[in-house]
Chains A and B, each alone.
Chain A
């Protein structure tokens, strides 16, 4: 079982602040890394899937980077808004597997609260 650590566990920021959090996992060249945003009472929403070491992806004010050699990914939110409040989950999956063998291992998540 992979050890996936997310930090911080929770954080509170003011509207307009930029913030970032970390996902750590065993270093390897063979992971795809998923980020999900999970709002209360809703389905986890896929933000990014990154498969290449050094990958950077961006979606609006949210961006993410991946370093598989050292085993971490950062998620950045620029100019946080109250609607960004959610739990952000990361999950590495084995890149060289597919279909039913492709199993995600989740971290406990980072709970972000953006105060207006």
Chain B
């Protein structure tokens, strides 16, 4: 149980274009989903937190107009990188939480490798 999928697993796009990444909880309802980014040899860094049906909360330094997050259902959240630039090339990974009382579990997807040329 507790499987989270991400699509695509890798994507190459041209500078200036937008890319959408999907995160799905396959066998549970995710009250909260988290989006992380990892640069080479660095730790996973939280970008934003989203709750189903409400606006995402972005971490300091993360541009909300550039990284659009939609959490339209309890099983799907999307991250759209708008007007991508080479510096946005990174590994993006989501996690999902069922949000149960006193449960601190976060279940991760396999990640998406984005390369912007």
Interface secondary structure of A, over-half rule: loop
Q: Are B43 and A43 in contact (CB under 8 A)?
A: no
Report A82-116 residues with CB < 8 Å from chain B CB: 89, 91, 93, 95, 98-100, 102-109
In the bound complex, do residue B43 and residue A107 qualify as a contact, i.e. CB atoms below 8 Å apart? yes
Quick check: is A71 within 8 A (CB to CB) of the other chain?
no
B104 touching A102 by the CB < 8 A rule? yes
Q: Give the size of the chain A interface in residues (CB under 8 angstroms).
A: 27
In whole angstroms, what is the CA distance A105 to B36 when docked? 10
The residue among B44, B102, B109 with the most chain A CB atoms within 10 A of its own CB is B44
Query: How far is B33's CA from A106's CA once the two chains are assembled, in angstroms?
Result: 16
Q: Which stretch of A14-22, A44-52, A73-81 is in the interface?
A: A44-52
**CB-contacts of B86-117 with A (<8 A):** 93, 97, 99, 101-102, 104-111
Q: Are B105 and A43 in contact (CB under 8 A)?
A: no
Partner of B44, one of A32, A49, A89, A100: A89
Give the chain A neighbours of B49 by CB distance below 8 A: 100, 103
**B residues lining the A interface (CB < 8 Å):** 4, 31-32, 34, 36, 41-46, 49-51, 57, 93, 97, 99, 101-102, 104-111
A-B contact pairs, 6 of them (CB 8 A): A32-B104, A34-B106, A42-B110, A44-B93, A49-B105, A108-B41
